[in-house]
Amino acid sequence: MSRPREFDADLALRRCMEVFWTKGFHATSYEDLTRTTQVKKQSLYGVFKNKRELFLKSLALYREENLSVLEKRMACETSPVRRLEAICEAALYADDEARIRGCLIINTSLEFGNGDADINREIGQMMERTEGMIEQAIRDGQAEGAITSRLGSRELALHLSNAINGAKMMEKSGISREEILGVLRTSIALIEA
């Protein structure tokens, strides 16, 4: 019926996501996107209406991939405290290039403030779901007495989630992974019973 698309839209989206991740939304130009995807502007345009839509799709892709990695990592661990440690370890990237990029969600949250409703929704989803996972692990830990019951599971979850956000920030400033992980381990150690 019509001429078939010559490029893989999913792959192109992934490449775009990586550029946004590295440079941020405003700083990436169409030139950047066309260069790394090898897809001309108008073709990209045909699939994703404009830069903003492309970015929103990138955010969603990042979120889903990140959360699925997180879920897998947690499923491997049996003890609640180990699960919390696994979340912290998964939150921080291992290779240096990724570490300097930091977390796309955090970067975006800072870049946009709370001005953009669609962006906010995307970020909120990511936060809520990770907070939920943390809270579940904490509840389990409290049930078996490994984690303090002096404070409620939600408060403790917010405390840890906040610490992770701080760590994701620090990640970008070139501090070593071990140093940052040490801070997070302290934050975990403080909530153990």
Partner DNA sequence: CTCATACTTGACCACGTGGTCAATAACTGA
Partner DNA sequence: TCAGTTATTGACCACGTGGTCAAGTATGAG
Residues that bind DNA (CB under 7 A): 1-7, 28-32, 39-43, 45-46, 50-52
Question: 13 or 102: whose CB is closer to a second copy?
Answer: 102
Residue 4 interacts with which of a second copy, DNA, none, CB < 5 to 8 Å by class: DNA
Please say which residue, 45 or 116, places its beta carbon nearer to a second copy.
116
> Using CB distances below 5 to 8 A depending on partner kind, what does residue 72 bind out of DNA, a second copy, none?
none
Tokens found for residue 81: 């405290």
Residue 1 binds which one of DNA, a second copy, none, with CB within 5 to 8 A depending on kind?
Answer: DNA
Q: At 192, is the secondary structure helix, strand, or coil?
A: strand
Q: Tokens 């959360």, residue?
A: 67
In the complex, the smallest distance separating the C-beta of residue 123 from a second copy, rounded to whole angstroms, is 7
Q: What is the distance between the alpha carbons of residues 14 and 105, in angstroms, rounded to a whole number?
A: 15
> 111-127: buried (b, 16+ CB within 10 Å) or exposed (e) per residue?
ebeeebeebeebbebbb
Q: For residues 51 and 83, which CB has a smaller minimum distance to DNA in the complex?
A: 51
Which CB atom, from 6 or from 178, has the smaller least distance to DNA? 6
Contact 39, 7 (CB under 8 A): yes
Q: Which has the closest alpha carbon to 87: 51, 31, 138?
A: 138
188: tokens are: 């975990």
Task: Count Cα atoms within 13 angstroms, Cβ side, for 165.
Answer: 18
| Closest distance of CB 48 from DNA, Å | 9
**Binding footprint of a second copy on the chain (CB under 8 A):** 24, 26-27, 100, 102, 106-107, 109-111, 113-114, 120, 123, 151, 155-156, 158-159, 162-167, 169-170, 172-174, 182-183, 186-187, 189-191
